[in-house]
Structure formats: C-alpha cells, structure tokens
Amino acid sequence: MSTTLPAPASTTVRTPSKRTVLMCRPDYFTVSYRINPWMHPEAPTDTSLAVRQWETLYQTYLDLGFDVHLIDPVEGLPDMVYAANGGFIIDNIAYGASFTYAERQPEGPAYMDWFRSNGFDVRVPENVNEGEGDFLLVGDVILAGTGFRTATNSHEELARIYGREVVTLELVNPSFYHLDTAIALLDPQPGFENPNIAYLPSAFSEASLAILRERFPDALLVNEEDAAVLGLNSFSDGYNIVIASRATDFGRQLRERGYNPIGVDLSELLLGGGGVKCCTLELRR
C-alpha cells in the first residue's frame, strides 16, 4: 500500500495541479534479458507481485484526482510497463520513441498507435530516443539526456518539433541510464516561473553538472542510497510527489520544501530498472 510520509509544519504553500497520464499494466512483466545493470534474468521475478504494486501506484494517482489512461500490454514486451519510455508529448504533439535495444523496439510502434487512436499528432522519430525517460519538460525548457540510450541528434529533432530550448545533459553512470532516474521534476506546470528539480550529482558529467548548478542553484541534491532505490524516479503534481517508499531522506528533503511525499513500493518493478516515473507518461494536450 502507499504511504503518505508525515510532514512537519511548513510556511511554504504548494499547489497541486491535475495531471493526465498514460500507464500500462505489467501483466507480462518479467526479466528475461539484460539491457541495464538492474536486470538479472537468472533471478526469479513475481509477475503477480509486480501487478499488485503497480495497482497501488495506479490507485494512488486516482486518489490524487489524476486522469489515468491505460494502454493494453502486449505479450512478449515485458518492459512495456515502463510507459514513460513510450514517447514525449507536449501541446498534443506526440514524438514517438525509437528504442536502442532490439528487445524493446516493438514498443515504439505500439505506443504510437495508441497516440494516434487517441487524437494526438504523432511524429515518427528519425533518431534513437527513449521518450520521457530522457526528456523532461522543466518550465518551458526541455532537459534531454544522453550517454546510454537516447542519441544527441534526437535532441535537435526535438527542438525542431516543439520549437523550445533543449538542454543536453550527459549521463555517465550506467545504473542511471535514463534522465528520469537521475533527475526529479518538482514543479511540473508548464510555464512555471521558477521550476525546481532534485538530482544525483554523480550521475552526470562535469560539464552537465555545471549546467545544472547554474540553472538550478536551489535544487535538492539526493544521496546515493535514495538514488539507488530510484527515489528520483518520481512524479509530482506540484504538491504531492509520489516517490519510492525507501527513499526516506529524499522524502525528508521534500517535506522541508513544503511538498507532500507519498511513498509507494515498486520493488518488483525495480528488478527491471524502473520506478514510479518509469511507469508514468504524461499526456499534455
């Protein structure tokens, strides 16, 4: 079950905003191949437990008043549960995903088919990218990760499609192979005047760290222990932030800033290298 972590009194007022997201039940979740350091095919996984944990996350979003859409899982695509990788959507334009590894490549067309059937303007990608796993909309700027999965030329494609500034950030730790495992967006409203983030410094190159420090001087710096349970792989509505329940110090930091951290246990899905944000693709009309 989800746990709302206790919060001390705070003078900071945070305002939640309704979010619209896409999720995929992990009916076929297992770890049958290894494409990141978290995955160990020789170790057993429990699909029924993964489903129960995912259902807790799903119910948490419903309880928060989110509009939650579902895409049907496809047998043989165990990582399809990580919906964030399925694309990137702003202003009703859906930039599709083109996955690095052959095991996940069929997910790209499956998600683009869903986008089309639900009225989004789909742009078929010309370059390798893994969707919102490596693209984060922070205010009016798109932070774009590279280093392990998403190619840098996709960042140029992204800028052309959306007409927004795209800031490239290089990831250097293979355990944090997507940007959304190393950065948490705390203030998700587009156009937010002073959006803030939390991040793990050791996940980035020195040049990218310099960019983060300059752009986000008040960012929360998360410790290695909380990052190692994918605590940064979280989802915020501007006040409530759903995080890994084991990321306790991150929860403390959020409470001190006036946010309401809500802990959920996705330990089974962590065996595939994903957490809260990985299971959550934002749909921005």
CA distance 238 to 265: 21
In the set 24, 155, 278, 279, the catalytic residue is 278
Q: DSSP H helical segments within the chain, as ranges?
A: 47-63, 107-117, 153-162, 206-215, 224-227, 248-256, 267-270
Looking only at Cα atoms, what is the longest distance across the chain?
A: 50
178 is catalytic: yes
Contact between 135 and 128 under an 8 Å Cβ cutoff? The reply is no
User: DSSP letter string over 209-238?
Assistant: HHHHHHH-TTPEEPPHHHHTTTTTS-EESS
User: DSSP letter string over 160-217?
Assistant: HHH-S-EEEEEB--TTS-SGGGTEEES---TT-SS--EEE-GGGB-HHHHHHHHHH-T
**Which residues are known catalytic residues?**
178, 278
